A and B are shown apart, each in its own frame.
Chain A
Amino acid sequence: MNIKALGGCCTRSTQNFLNIQEAVKKMDLDIEVEQVSDTNEIMMYGVMSTPGLVINGKAVASGRLLSVEDAMALITRHKD
């Protein structure tokens, strides 16, 4: 599984990235979460508002800061 946290320009995006990392850790997954801050790359996922979350190349959240619980729920839902 491949997980990317979108957004790098504001503190909110960084918090989002940290929360997703925490979620992965809590779920005992051996995955490196990647933070994407390049606008062009973010837009390749069709996302126009950060923070966002991409799982296996598909945008599953945009424009909202995910809590650790939110991120865990989304990862579980889009695992396969």
Chain B
Amino acid sequence: MGNFIITQILGMQWLNQLVYNLLKLLFGETFATGNWGSSLQFFIFDFIKIGILLCFLIFLVSYIQSYFPPERTKKILSKYKGVGANTLGALMGTITPFCSCSSIPLFIGFTRAGLSSGVTFSFLISSPLVDLGAFVLLTSIFGIKIALAYVVVGLVLAVIGGTIIEKTGLGKHVEPFVLDGENIDIDFIKLNQKERLSYAKEQMIFTYKKVFLYILIGVGIGSIIHNAIPQSFIESVLGSNNPFSVLFAVIAGAPMYADIFGAIPVAEALFLKNAGLGTILAFMMAVTTISIPSFIMLKKVVKTKLLMAFGSIVIIGIIIIGYTFNLIEYLFI
């Protein structure tokens, strides 16, 4: 039963079969089973599957998120201290609605509310890295074990990263204007059910439009990898036996700016071609957490020293995660 849910409902294997049959009907069996046919099949299937899952998930997640606007998260977090607070910060990061556009006010708001730099950075690391939608999508492609592993190590990275930034005192290097202002708490704006549903719907449409291009590019790259690039090449460059595979993945993924939903199809194609599991996780994490646009944003509120420290800690953390998972890969596959 669990298997049925994962392969047919979340994995939509029936759709994959349908796309194949359709291609066979239209272009004949030789084409459908050939290289171009299966590339096309991967492209159509993945694009539709990710689209459907994404819309459904964003709607559900946004509905839950409507109970945790950042203004409320800030209030909740300001009641806790220490590593517990970092953990909570990382967890709240997974459910608080977040776009790169709101990272600056969020950073300023958290800091002015007296939240420690550790909590703020745990939040900032986990927010793009881990969310409920990504978890379900990962389950559909890689199975529940790998999806859980991704979420757990993502949260651990966020907690440890935040803790290091705080304990080393690096977290103090913020621009002076960030501290120069008072904390303003507003009464939590209560929404009724109709408003929550309309918020969820609007959020769904907005997110889909926003990530549409990323999915298209991601699935496109995925289908090229799927067929045009030989498995032996992927294995030798990104397989777990190549000691540099994780470094390659992080260096290639870090400057890229894409949503987790764009990174997943590429990861999926690499996974099917036997790239190392750790290498794939490292690639997804590097793409989502580190990007040039988000650094430019953060530069407005933190000094270069802190920005560099933040980047290095996250990169080193991702590399460690990558190598660890390549070593213990056999436990998951």
B184, closest chain A residue (CB) = A46
- Min CB distance, A14 to chain B, in Å? 12
Q: Mask for B100-114, Cβ within 8 A of A = 1, else 0?
A: 011011101100100
**Contact residues of B: prevailing secondary structure:** helix
Which of B97, B109, B186, B203 is the one whose CB lies under 8 Å from A59? B186
A44 within 8 A of B: yes
Cα(A39)–Cα(B181), bound, Å: 12
B101 / chain A contacts, CB cutoff of 8 Å: 9-10, 50
* B202–A47 CB distance below 8 A: no
CB within 8 A of B199: which of A39, A48, A50, A64? A64
CB B213 to nearest CB in A, in angstroms, measures 14
Contact call A47/B71, Cβ cutoff below 8 A? yes
Size bracket, chain B contacts: 20 to 34
Report if A34 contacts B (CB, 8 A): no
Q: In the complex, which residues of chain B have a beta carbon less than 8 angstroms from the beta carbon of A43? A: 105, 108-109, 112, 181, 184
- The docked-state distance in angstroms from the alpha carbon of A37 to that of B105 is 11
B214-231 vs A, CB cutoff 8 Å, 1 = contact: the mask equals 000000000000000000
Contact of A33 with B by CB under 8 A: no
Count of CB-CB pairs between chains A and B under 8 Å? 64
Interface residues on A, range: 20 to 34
Chain B hits for A62, CB < 8 A: 69, 71, 189
CA distance A48 to B69 in the complex (A): 9
B273 interface contact, C-beta 8 A: no
Q: Are B186 and A47 in contact (CB under 8 A)?
A: yes
Cβ of A8 to closest chain B Cβ, rounded Å? 10
B97 partner, pick from A46, A49, A61, beta carbons under 8 A: A49
CB within 8 Å of A: which of B222-250? none
Give bound CA distance, A13 to B64, whole Å: 22
With A43-B105, A59-B186 known to touch, is A48 a contact of B71 (CB < 8 Å)? yes
B interface residues, Cβ below 8 angstroms from A: 69-71, 74, 97, 99, 101-102, 104-106, 108-109, 112, 177, 181, 184-186, 189, 195, 198-199, 202-203, 206
- What residues of chain A have their CB less than 8 Å away from a CB belonging to chain B? 9-10, 12, 39-40, 42-50, 59-65, 67, 70
